[in-house]
Chain A
Amino acid sequence: DAGVTQSPTHLIKTRGQQVTLRCSPKSGHDTVSWYQQALGQGPQFIFQYYEEEERQRGNFPDRFSGHQFPNYSSELNVNALLLGDSALYLCASSLGLAGGWEQFFGPGTRLTVL
Protein backbone atom coordinates (compact mmCIF):
# COMPACT_ATOMS: atom_id res chain seq x y z
CA ASP A 1 0.00 0.00 0.00
CA ALA A 2 1.69 3.18 -1.19
CA GLY A 3 1.71 6.06 1.20
CA VAL A 4 1.57 9.70 0.22
CA THR A 5 3.77 10.47 -2.76
CA GLN A 6 4.97 13.85 -3.98
CA SER A 7 6.75 15.04 -7.08
CA PRO A 8 9.20 16.35 -7.87
CA THR A 9 11.60 15.74 -4.99
CA HIS A 10 13.60 18.88 -5.61
CA LEU A 11 13.00 21.93 -7.75
CA ILE A 12 14.96 25.09 -8.52
CA LYS A 13 13.22 28.16 -9.90
CA THR A 14 14.01 31.83 -10.31
CA ARG A 15 12.09 34.80 -8.95
CA GLY A 16 8.92 35.58 -10.87
CA GLN A 17 8.48 32.10 -12.25
CA GLN A 18 5.56 29.80 -11.58
CA VAL A 19 5.74 26.29 -10.10
CA THR A 20 3.40 23.29 -9.82
CA LEU A 21 3.86 20.62 -7.19
CA ARG A 22 1.98 17.32 -7.19
CA CYS A 23 0.66 14.99 -4.53
CA SER A 24 -0.99 11.58 -4.58
CA PRO A 25 -2.78 10.71 -1.34
CA LYS A 26 -2.60 7.46 0.55
CA SER A 27 -4.90 4.82 -0.89
CA GLY A 28 -8.46 5.33 0.35
CA HIS A 29 -7.93 8.91 1.48
CA ASP A 30 -10.03 11.71 0.03
CA THR A 31 -8.67 14.85 1.70
CA VAL A 32 -5.40 16.57 0.88
CA SER A 33 -3.73 19.32 2.89
CA TRP A 34 -0.66 21.32 1.91
CA TYR A 35 1.94 22.76 4.28
CA GLN A 36 4.98 24.98 3.81
CA GLN A 37 8.02 24.41 6.03
CA ALA A 38 10.76 27.01 6.06
CA LEU A 39 14.18 26.01 7.31
CA GLY A 40 14.21 25.57 11.07
CA GLN A 41 10.47 26.12 11.44
CA GLY A 42 7.46 23.88 11.87
CA PRO A 43 5.15 23.27 8.91
CA GLN A 44 2.61 26.03 8.20
CA PHE A 45 -0.84 25.15 6.86
CA ILE A 46 -1.55 26.47 3.35
CA PHE A 47 -4.91 24.97 2.42
CA GLN A 48 -6.98 21.80 2.34
CA TYR A 49 -8.95 20.16 -0.47
CA TYR A 50 -11.92 17.86 -0.16
CA GLU A 51 -14.38 16.90 -2.91
CA GLU A 52 -12.33 18.98 -5.35
CA GLU A 53 -12.95 22.17 -3.41
CA GLU A 54 -10.78 24.28 -1.14
CA ARG A 55 -12.27 23.80 2.32
CA GLN A 56 -9.84 25.61 4.61
CA ARG A 57 -7.08 28.11 3.96
CA GLY A 58 -4.22 29.40 6.04
CA ASN A 59 -2.65 32.83 5.93
CA PHE A 60 -1.12 32.62 2.47
CA PRO A 61 -1.56 35.05 -0.44
CA ASP A 62 -3.56 34.33 -3.57
CA ARG A 63 -0.32 33.50 -5.37
CA PHE A 64 -0.77 30.10 -3.76
CA SER A 65 -3.54 28.11 -5.39
CA GLY A 66 -4.45 24.49 -5.69
CA HIS A 67 -6.56 21.89 -7.31
CA GLN A 68 -7.89 18.47 -6.48
CA PHE A 69 -8.72 15.94 -9.16
CA PRO A 70 -11.50 13.31 -9.18
CA ASN A 71 -8.95 10.65 -8.18
CA TYR A 72 -8.17 12.77 -5.07
CA SER A 73 -4.68 13.71 -6.19
CA SER A 74 -3.79 17.36 -5.83
CA GLU A 75 -1.60 20.14 -7.18
CA LEU A 76 -0.16 23.19 -5.49
CA ASN A 77 0.59 26.15 -7.75
CA VAL A 78 2.65 29.14 -6.76
CA ASN A 79 2.82 32.16 -9.08
CA ALA A 80 5.29 35.04 -9.15
CA LEU A 81 7.80 33.22 -6.99
CA LEU A 82 9.66 35.16 -4.30
CA LEU A 83 12.90 34.25 -2.58
CA GLY A 84 10.88 33.71 0.59
CA ASP A 85 8.92 30.91 -1.07
CA SER A 86 12.00 28.68 -0.76
CA ALA A 87 10.88 25.90 1.55
CA LEU A 88 9.91 22.26 1.90
CA TYR A 89 6.34 21.78 0.70
CA LEU A 90 4.53 18.94 2.40
CA CYS A 91 1.38 17.20 1.36
CA ALA A 92 -0.75 15.31 3.88
CA SER A 93 -3.73 13.09 3.23
CA SER A 94 -6.53 11.97 5.48
CA LEU A 95 -10.09 10.75 5.46
CA GLY A 96 -12.51 13.65 5.40
CA LEU A 97 -16.04 13.47 6.62
CA ALA A 98 -15.82 9.69 6.80
CA GLY A 99 -13.55 10.04 9.78
CA GLY A 100 -9.87 9.49 10.50
CA TRP A 101 -7.91 11.60 12.90
CA GLU A 102 -4.48 10.95 11.47
CA GLN A 103 -2.86 12.94 8.69
CA PHE A 104 -0.25 11.03 6.70
CA PHE A 105 2.54 13.17 5.29
CA GLY A 106 4.56 12.71 2.15
CA PRO A 107 8.33 13.25 1.99
CA GLY A 108 7.91 16.76 0.60
CA THR A 109 9.18 18.77 -2.34
CA ARG A 110 12.18 20.99 -1.69
CA LEU A 111 11.71 24.25 -3.63
CA THR A 112 14.62 26.64 -4.03
CA VAL A 113 13.96 30.08 -5.50
CA LEU A 114 17.03 31.93 -6.78
Chain B
Amino acid sequence: DAKTTQPTSMDCAEGRAANLPCNHSTISGNEYVYWYRQIHSQGPQYIIHGLKNNETNEMASLIITEDRKSSTLILPHATLRDTAVYYCIVRSSHNTDKLIFGTGTRLQVFP
Protein backbone atom coordinates (compact mmCIF):
# COMPACT_ATOMS: atom_id res chain seq x y z
CA ASP B 1 0.00 0.00 0.00
CA ALA B 2 1.03 3.55 -0.68
CA LYS B 3 2.42 5.36 2.34
CA THR B 4 1.20 8.76 1.20
CA THR B 5 -2.06 10.70 1.12
CA GLN B 6 -2.82 13.30 -1.53
CA PRO B 7 -5.90 15.29 -2.54
CA THR B 8 -7.73 13.73 -5.45
CA SER B 9 -7.73 16.84 -7.61
CA MET B 10 -6.66 20.49 -7.73
CA ASP B 11 -7.04 23.41 -10.10
CA CYS B 12 -4.53 26.16 -10.84
CA ALA B 13 -4.60 29.21 -13.09
CA GLU B 14 -1.95 29.40 -15.77
CA GLY B 15 1.04 31.46 -14.64
CA ARG B 16 0.28 31.01 -10.97
CA ALA B 17 2.13 28.75 -8.56
CA ALA B 18 0.70 25.28 -8.08
CA ASN B 19 1.20 23.91 -4.57
CA LEU B 20 0.54 20.18 -4.27
CA PRO B 21 0.46 18.78 -0.73
CA CYS B 22 1.33 15.27 0.41
CA ASN B 23 1.05 13.61 3.80
CA HIS B 24 3.48 10.83 4.74
CA SER B 25 3.15 10.61 8.50
CA THR B 26 4.69 7.12 8.77
CA ILE B 27 7.86 7.94 6.84
CA SER B 28 11.02 6.35 8.22
CA GLY B 29 14.32 8.10 8.80
CA ASN B 30 16.00 6.58 5.74
CA GLU B 31 13.10 7.08 3.34
CA TYR B 32 13.03 9.71 0.64
CA VAL B 33 10.08 11.64 -0.77
CA TYR B 34 9.80 11.37 -4.55
CA TRP B 35 7.47 13.14 -6.94
CA TYR B 36 6.52 11.85 -10.37
CA ARG B 37 3.90 13.11 -12.78
CA GLN B 38 2.00 11.40 -15.55
CA ILE B 39 0.68 13.37 -18.46
CA HIS B 40 -2.24 11.73 -20.22
CA SER B 41 -1.24 8.72 -22.33
CA GLN B 42 2.41 8.89 -21.29
CA GLY B 43 4.58 7.05 -18.77
CA PRO B 44 5.33 8.69 -15.42
CA GLN B 45 8.09 11.30 -15.40
CA TYR B 46 10.45 11.96 -12.51
CA ILE B 47 10.21 15.49 -11.08
CA ILE B 48 12.24 15.76 -7.89
CA HIS B 49 13.12 13.98 -4.65
CA GLY B 50 14.41 14.87 -1.21
CA LEU B 51 15.25 13.51 2.22
CA LYS B 52 14.82 16.39 4.68
CA ASN B 53 16.17 19.54 3.09
CA ASN B 54 14.22 21.59 0.62
CA GLU B 55 15.17 20.88 -2.97
CA THR B 56 14.84 22.83 -6.20
CA ASN B 57 15.49 21.96 -9.81
CA GLU B 58 14.48 23.31 -13.18
CA MET B 59 11.02 21.78 -12.91
CA ALA B 60 9.90 22.34 -9.35
CA SER B 61 10.66 22.90 -5.69
CA LEU B 62 10.10 20.43 -2.89
CA ILE B 63 9.40 21.67 0.62
CA ILE B 64 9.58 19.04 3.37
CA THR B 65 8.38 19.89 6.88
CA GLU B 66 10.84 19.65 9.72
CA ASP B 67 9.15 16.55 11.16
CA ARG B 68 9.11 15.07 7.62
CA LYS B 69 5.49 14.05 7.95
CA SER B 70 4.37 16.11 5.00
CA SER B 71 5.70 17.87 1.94
CA THR B 72 4.63 20.25 -0.80
CA LEU B 73 5.58 20.20 -4.45
CA ILE B 74 5.64 23.68 -5.94
CA LEU B 75 5.41 24.42 -9.65
CA PRO B 76 6.31 28.14 -9.61
CA HIS B 77 4.62 29.20 -12.84
CA ALA B 78 2.15 26.57 -13.97
CA THR B 79 1.48 26.17 -17.69
CA LEU B 80 -1.20 24.22 -19.52
CA ARG B 81 1.40 21.52 -20.19
CA ASP B 82 1.66 20.91 -16.45
CA THR B 83 -1.83 19.41 -16.45
CA ALA B 84 -1.19 15.86 -15.24
CA VAL B 85 -1.56 13.41 -12.36
CA TYR B 86 1.11 14.05 -9.72
CA TYR B 87 2.28 11.19 -7.53
CA CYS B 88 4.00 11.60 -4.18
CA ILE B 89 5.99 8.47 -3.28
CA VAL B 90 7.94 7.44 -0.21
CA ARG B 91 10.88 5.25 -1.13
CA SER B 92 13.77 3.70 0.74
CA SER B 93 17.31 4.89 0.23
CA HIS B 94 18.15 1.76 -1.74
CA ASN B 95 18.37 2.89 -5.30
CA THR B 96 16.83 -0.28 -6.72
CA ASP B 97 13.74 -0.11 -4.56
CA LYS B 98 10.41 -0.29 -6.33
CA LEU B 99 8.09 2.68 -6.60
CA ILE B 100 4.75 2.34 -4.81
CA PHE B 101 2.23 4.65 -6.42
CA GLY B 102 -1.01 5.83 -4.87
CA THR B 103 -3.79 7.40 -6.89
CA GLY B 104 -2.10 10.81 -7.03
CA THR B 105 -3.46 14.34 -7.46
CA ARG B 106 -4.98 15.31 -10.76
CA LEU B 107 -3.83 18.89 -11.42
CA GLN B 108 -5.83 20.86 -13.96
CA VAL B 109 -4.20 24.09 -15.15
CA PHE B 110 -6.70 26.41 -16.76
CA PRO B 111 -6.14 29.49 -18.97
Contacts and interface: CB of A to CB of B under 8 A. Distances in A.
A40 B43 CA distance: 14
B101 A44 contact: yes
Q: Which among B2, B41, B85, B98 has the highest number of chain A CB atoms within 10 Å? A: B98
Contacts of B102: 42
A42 B87 contact: yes
Contact of A42 (B2, B42, B49): B2
Interface of A: 4, 31, 33, 35, 40-45, 48, 50, 55-56, 58, 90, 92, 94-97, 99-108
Interface in B37-51: 41-46, 49
Interface in B57-111: 85, 87, 95-96, 98-104
Interface of B: 2, 32, 41-46, 49, 85, 87, 95-96, 98-104
Interface of A, helix, strand, loop or mixed by DSSP: loop
A50 B98 contact: no
A107 B42 contact: yes
B96 A94 contact: yes
Contacts of B32: 101
A24 B102 CA distance: 26
